[in-house]
Amino acid sequence: MRDALTRGGAADRASDARATRPDPVSGRAGAEHAVLLLRPVLRARGLSLGLARADDPRARPAGPGEWESAVAMPPPRRRDFLAGRCAARRALAEAGGPAGEIPRAGRRPLFPCGFAGSISHSGGLAVALVAPGAHALGCDLELRGLPLDSAHIVLGPDERTGVDTESRLLAAFSAKEAAFKAFSASLGADAPATLLGIGTRPVPGGFRAWPRQLPGHVIDVGVRNAGSGVFSWAVIDG
């Protein structure tokens, strides 16, 4: 899974722009509650949900591959990684899939054959979605805001109209992150390399998104408030 830590460029600068903002662990409970309330909406879309806190003692490696990955990470990253794997196993179990070790290719998790999945974490909370039979999906949880003066880093000139509050910017950023993951899983080398390579426009319930170089590949991204943050998801059917 490519994310803001691996892409470089625009998304890295967006991450830097909010680095001095407090990570709202205190708002984690509100975000967790809000995401759990989305379960019926997600189920109607064929998605299974899993959550785990970074301090959950059950967030442990499920096999030697996860153990090897985890021990090489600094403690904060290790906690997020293990919480993400724990959330993914919970989502897989809900979907009727195997709930064992989840290997990775680079930074992207490799879900069992027949299941598409995505993991995101922020503020000490990990969220995972799994869809049996889907071609690709992406999800994104954001519990830290972005300053408005960073809008140009992730939004093209055609997307900035009406983005006049930090909450609107965060929603657009999160939608692009979810779309980026879905496109990366489905398009491979043809996927956008940065968030600026994805075009979006608001639609009821979220955003419509497409790769600027492949405008025929259009997907809808659901976006909902998650406590003080936002949660987004996008599905590309098989």
Q: Match 């956008």 to its residue by tokens.
A: 192
Q: How far apart are the first and last CA of the chain?
A: 19
pTM: 0.89
Average pLDDT score, the chain: 90
> What is d(CA 117, CA 134) in angstroms, rounded to the nearest whole number?
9
Determine the pLDDT at residue 107: 82
| Residue numbers of the chain with a pLDDT score lower than 50 | 1-6, 19-20, 22-23
Q: Are 156 and 196 in contact (CB under 8 A)?
A: yes
- Looking at residue 113, its amino acid is C
How many percent of the chain have pLDDT more than 70?
89
* Model confidence pLDDT, tens digit, residues 48-67: 999 999 999 999 999 999 99
CATH of residue 225's domain is: 3.90.470.20
> What is d(CA 112, CA 103) in angstroms, rounded to the nearest whole number?
9
- Which runs of E-coded beta strand occur in 19-65? 48-53
Q: Match 């492949």 to its residue by tokens.
A: 214
Q: Are 219 and 235 in contact (CB under 8 A)?
A: yes
Q: The tokens of 18 are what?
A: 């909010």
Q: How many residues does the chain have?
A: 238
Determine the pLDDT at residue 4: 42
Determine the pLDDT at residue 22: 47
Max alpha carbon distance in the chain (Å)?
49
| Structural domain containing residue 125 | 4-236
Per the structure, the count of domains in the chain is: 1
